[in-house]
C-alpha cells in the first residue's frame, strides 16, 4: 500500500465528457474487515489488491499499534502478522474511522478481551452497534458499555449461538462471523448482511481454515475451529468505486471501460443507468459505460436497499446524476437517517432538491455552476465531484481528504479519462494530478 494523499483541496473544471479506460482498485470495505481478520492467526497473512487509501492506511496503523507487523509486498500488497496482539485499541486512532469496530469480534476471539472506543466515522446517522453487542453477548461475551468505549471479555472460548440480527448490519455480521470462527460449536446468524465485502471476508476466513457456510445469503453458519492459519488473499475489486465511475460517465457523457468492475454486484445500479439513458455493456472482465452527450437523461426513481439492492453508498452520486435528468426523481434512503449531506452543497451549485424527511425530490435538468463546496463525507464527496464534472466553471472542493479515505486517487483516474482535476495542499499550492497511488496489480 502507498501513503494516502495528503492534499486537501480539489479543483474540478466541468464540461468534459470522460473517455478511456481505468482500473478499478481493491474494495475499501472488504480490505478493512479482512485486515482486522488478519489478527485471528499468529501466522503471516499476505493480502493483494489492497487500495492505497487513507482508511486502509489508518487500519494498518491501528494493527501496528496493537502489535502486528505490516510490510508492503509489491503493488497493493500487504503482509500482516500478529504474533502477539494487545487487546486495547487506541482511541485516538480508532475514533477517526468507524470501521475500527470490526476489530471487536476478532480481538475477542483471539485474546479473550477487547477494549475499543465507540467508533467514529461519517456523521451519516446514529450508527448504533447494539446488534454487534447483543450477538457477542449471546456467544458468551461480557460487555461493559461505557459512555466512550466498550470493554468486552470472555472467560474462556466464545461459544456458538443462534443469533437473529434485527437488521442486516454489515460490520455487525462481520464481527459475529469473525468471533464465531474460533468459538466452540456452531453459530447461526439469521438476517445476515450479503454485501460483496462480507462475502469476501468469508472467503478470506475460509482460506485460513474457517468453516463458514452461506456467505452471500441471509443465513450464515459458522462451525468453530481450534485455530486458523496464515493465508494469501486477493481483495475483490471495489464495486462502489466502479459504480461511482459508471454514474460519473452517465452524468458527463463519454465512453469508458472500467477494468475488473464486478458487474454482477452492480446489476441494479447498471439497470438504473440504462433506464436513465446510458448504455452499459458487460465485457469479459470489465464494464463499458457510455452516453452520447446529446442523449438526454431521464428521471428514474430510486430506493436504497441492502445488497443486492441499490447501495446506500452510491445514493449521493446517483442524486448528482439525477440533477441532470428530465423530470422529477424521488430518491428514498431508508437505511441511514442523515445521508443527504450532499444536498446543501449540490443546491449551492444550482441543483433543485427538496428534502422531505427520508426521501428527496430532485427536479431537473438543472444547470450547475461552479462554487466553493465543502465535502461532508466520502460518498457525498464523490457526488460533489460528479456535479463538478458537469458544472460550468471550476469547482473548489474543500475537505477533499474525505474522498481520499475511500477512493484511490480519484483525481488521477478522472484526469486519465480527460477530466480537468488538480489538487492543492494546505498552503494553497496547486499541483498536477498525482500518479496513481499504490498501483493495482
What gap in Å lies between CA 354 and CA 429, rounded to an integer? 37
Among 266, 378, 384, 403, binds ligand EPU (CB under 6 A): 378
Alpha-helical regions (H) of 16-113: 28-37, 54-66, 91-94, 103-111
Q: Per CB under 6 A, does 379 bind ligand EPU?
A: yes
E strand intervals along 214-358 = 219-223, 231-234, 254-259, 279-283, 286-291, 297-298, 302-303, 325-332, 352-356
Name the residue nearer to ligand EPU (CB basis): 299 or 306.
306
Piece in contact with ligand EPU (CB under 6 A), picked from 170-178, 214-222, 255-263, 285-293 = 170-178
What gap in Å lies between CA 398 and CA 405, rounded to an integer? 14
The CA–CA distances, whole Å, from 55 to 344, 351, 365 equal 26, 30, 35
Q: Per CB under 6 A, does 335 bind ligand EPU?
A: yes
Name the residue nearer to ligand EPU (CB basis): 164 or 167.
167
Q: Per CB under 6 A, does 128 bind ligand EPU?
A: yes
Here the cell at position 278 is 446510458
CB 228 within 8 A of CB 204: no
Here the cell at position 371 is 462554487
CA dihedral 123, 198, 166, 87 (to 10 degrees): -70
Among 164, 167, 355, 372, binds ligand EPU (CB under 6 A): 167
The site string for ligand EPU over 221-250 (x = CB under 6 A, - otherwise) reads ------------------------------
Closest contact distance (angstroms) between CB of 126 and ligand EPU is 5
Piece in contact with ligand EPU (CB under 6 A), picked from 28-36, 231-239, 256-264, 383-391 = 28-36
Q: Which residues pair with 166 in a beta bridge?
A: none
Q: How far is CA 236 from the centre of its chain?
A: 12
Q: Per CB under 6 A, does 357 bind ligand EPU?
A: no
Here the cell at position 38 is 488478519
Among 51, 117, 172, 436, binds ligand EPU (CB under 6 A): 172
Piece in contact with ligand EPU (CB under 6 A), picked from 165-173, 252-260, 390-398, 433-441 = 165-173
Helix/strand/coil for 120: coil
- 53 CB-contact burial (10 Å; exposed 0-12 / middle 13-18 / buried 19+): buried
Closest contact distance (angstroms) between CB of 390 and ligand EPU is 22
The site string for ligand EPU over 82-111 (x = CB under 6 A, - otherwise) reads ----------------xx------------
Name the residue nearer to ligand EPU (CB basis): 312 or 408.
312
Per CB under 6 A, contacts with ligand EPU among 388-417 are: 406
Closest contact distance (angstroms) between CB of 336 and ligand EPU is 5
What gap in Å lies between CA 321 and CA 46, rounded to an integer? 38
Q: Per CB under 6 A, does 126 bind ligand EPU?
A: yes
Piece in contact with ligand EPU (CB under 6 A), picked from 85-93, 148-156, 164-172, 228-236 = 164-172
Closest contact distance (angstroms) between CB of 193 and ligand EPU is 6
User: How many CB atoms lie under 10 A from the CB of residue 304?
Assistant: 20
DSSP readout, 402-425?
HHHHHSTTHHHHHHHTT-EEEEE-
Q: Per CB under 6 A, does 169 bind ligand EPU?
A: yes
Interface ranges with ligand EPU (CB under 6 A): 28-29, 32, 98-99, 122, 125-132, 167, 169-172, 195, 197, 312-313, 335-336, 378-379, 406
Amino acid at each position: 500500500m502507498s501513503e494516502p494523499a495528503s492534499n486537501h483541496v480539489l479543483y474540478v473544471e466541468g464540461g468534459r465528457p470522460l473517455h478511456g479506460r481505468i482500473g478499478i482498485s481493491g474494495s475499501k470495505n472488504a480490505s478493512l474487515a479482512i485486515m482486522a481478520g488478519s489478527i485471528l492467526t499468529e501466522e503471516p497473512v499476505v493480502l493483494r489488491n489492497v487500495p492505497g487509501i487513507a482508511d486502509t492506511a489508518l487500519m494498518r496503523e491501528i494493527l501496528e499499534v496493537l502489535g502486528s507487523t505490516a510490510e508492503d509486498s509489491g503493488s497493493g500488497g500487504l503482509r500482516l502478522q500478529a504474533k502477539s496482539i494487545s487487546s486495547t485499541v487506541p482511541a485516538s486512532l480508532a475514533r477517526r474511522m468507524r470501521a475500527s469496530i470490526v476489530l471487536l469480534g476478532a480481538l475477542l476471539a483471539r485474546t479473550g478481551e477487547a477494549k475499543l472506543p465507540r467508533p467514529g466515522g461519517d456523521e451519516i446517522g446514529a450508527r448504533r452497534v447494539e446488534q454487534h453487542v447483543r450477538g457477542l453477548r449471546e456467544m458468551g461475551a461480557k460487555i461493559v458499555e461505557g459512555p466512550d468505549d466498550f470493554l468486552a471479555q470472555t472467560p474462556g472460548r466464545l461459544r456458538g449461538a443462534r443469533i437473529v440480527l434485527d437488521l442486516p448490519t454489515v460490520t455487525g455480521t462481520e464481527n459475529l462471523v469473525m468471533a464465531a470462527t474460533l468459538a466452540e460449536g456452531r453459530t447461526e446468524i439469521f438476517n445476515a448482511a450479503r454485501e460483496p465485502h462480507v462475502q469476501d471476508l468469508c472467503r478470506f476466513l475460509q482460506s485460513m481454515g474457517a468453516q463458514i457456510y452461506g456467505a452471500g445469503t441471509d443465513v450464515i453458519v459458522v462451525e468453530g475451529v481450534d485455530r486458523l492459519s496464515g493465508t494469501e488473499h486477493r481483495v475483490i475489486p471495489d464495486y462502489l468505486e466502479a459504480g461511482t465511475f459508471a454514474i460519473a460517465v452517465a452524468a458527463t457523457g463519454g465512453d469508458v471501460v472500467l477494468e475488473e468492475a464486478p458487474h454482477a454486484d452492480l446489476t441494479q445500479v447498471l439497470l438504473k443507468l440504462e433506464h436513465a439513458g446510458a448504455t452499459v455493456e458487460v465485457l469479459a472482465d470489465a464494464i463499458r459505460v457510455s452516453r452520447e452527450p446529446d442523449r438526454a437523461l431521464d428521471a428514474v426513481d430510486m430506493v436504497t436497499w441492502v445488497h443486492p439492492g441499490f447501495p446506500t453508498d452510491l445514493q449521493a452520486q446517483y442524486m448528482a446524476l439525477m440533477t441532470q435528468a428530465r423530470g422529477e426523481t424521488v430518491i428514498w434512503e431508508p437505511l441511514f437517517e442523515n445521508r443527504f449531506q450532499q444536498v446543501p452543497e449540490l443546491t449551492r451549485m444550482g441543483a433543485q432538491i427538496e428534502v422531505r424527511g427520508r426521501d428527496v425530490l430532485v427536479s431537473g435538468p438543472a444547470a450547475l455552476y461552479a462554487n466553493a463546496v465543502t465535502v461532508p463525507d466520502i460518498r457525498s464527496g464523490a457526488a460533489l465531484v460528479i456535479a463538478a464534472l458537469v458544472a460550468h466553471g471550476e469547482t473548489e472542493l474543500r475537505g477533499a481528504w474525505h474522498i481520499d479515505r475511500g477512493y484511490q486517487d480519484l483525481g488521477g483516474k478522472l484526469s486519465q479519462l480527460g477530466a480537468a482535476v488538480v489538487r492543492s495542499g494546505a498552503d494553497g499550492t496547486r499541483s498536477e494530478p498525482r500518479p496513481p497511488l499504490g498501483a493495482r496489480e
